[in-house]
Structure 1
Amino acid sequence: MKLVELHDRAMELAAGVVNGVRPEQLDLPTPCAGWTLRRLLEHCVGQHRGFAAAARGAGPDLALFADAPVGPDPAEAFRRTGTELTAAFRAAAAADRPLWLPEIRDGAPFPLAQAVGFHLLDTLVHGWDVAAALGAPEELVAAVDGDDALVGALLAVTEAVPNTPEARAPGRAFRPGLQPGAADGRFDRALALLGRDPGWKAQGS
């Protein structure tokens, strides 16, 4: 299966999780330290818009990736911008167009497959962040672990993310990697390698 199609599957799974978010839950804490659920979803929608602009040929403009308000219906904003992104990725694949991703590197653009892989990782990990904030990540974890092609693509991208002090310093996208548990599944392994505790729960829950 092509990576763009696997990304479509990742977006479908993440959108299914976000569909369960209720307005009164937007102030819940998430595994992203200091981020509420609203802040996390604003980041996701901003990334959808930024990657879509890059897939359409935009240059290295950081402003295109800015967090975006999700309004009174965050699930609708997530689905709408996610649909726009998947269409932009398909068009970029047809044109074999590289993508400028200034948040990652302000230099030569990335090959399409690498850029799609970055966002596939972001989509699944932030989908898990949302599910964990809601207290029910098990269904998403099982769905990803049950899709060999999808979880294989996730691990391939995850294992290529540098795990150096410089790359995992405060303020960077990921915290220092954790040691995966021997009994953990493949999605849990990816989460641990990216510095997330697969057993994370909000304090007091």
Structure 2
Amino acid sequence: MEASVAARPLISVGALCGSLRTGSCNLGLIRSAIEISKSIKGLQIEYIDISPLPLLNTDLERDGSFPPAIEAFRQKILEVDSVLFASPEYNYSVTAPLKNAIDWGSRDPNVWGDKAAAIVSAGGGFGGGRSQYHLRQIGVYIDLHFINKPELFLNAFETPPKFDSDGNLIDEQAKESLKELLLSLQAFTLRLQGR
């Protein structure tokens, strides 16, 4: 078994956070995922910052090209094998910055198509679960393929705390759940690509 794990091809994951706050627990989930990925052979995660993206306005598209920040973002999505979303919940849905990034990526030609994806979230009582389900619906139209299990919803406000005051994940059981999710994303990406 160990030999087959060592022989796995490299899977690159682009990680997007729907919150723009520096101390966001959802950004903390991405930082933790990047750290955990260092212990998983064949998996590499890169954080893709969506904060520089202007609001979607098709007037910004000129002669089949996009503004430089959008072109750079779209290129990064094209280059990764799969996507990890950290999706906080705003008003039962995904955040405006995340929806904006998704919409820019879906402009013709759609850069999301046929990529594997996974979602993590932290928030209030349901841990951002409603945003996850809404994001899955969006994914149907843009041809993203989400792993079904495991799901990871974390209540960011319960006691004992799962996050420190800087938004870093400190709960060991949650870290283990996050690792299981990343392993599932890796395996699903390989299967989807026929590797």
Same fold by TM-score, threshold 0.5 exceeded? no
TM-score normalised to the size of structure 1?
0.31
Which one has a larger percent helix, Structure 1 or Structure 2?
1
TM-score normalised to the size of structure 2?
0.32
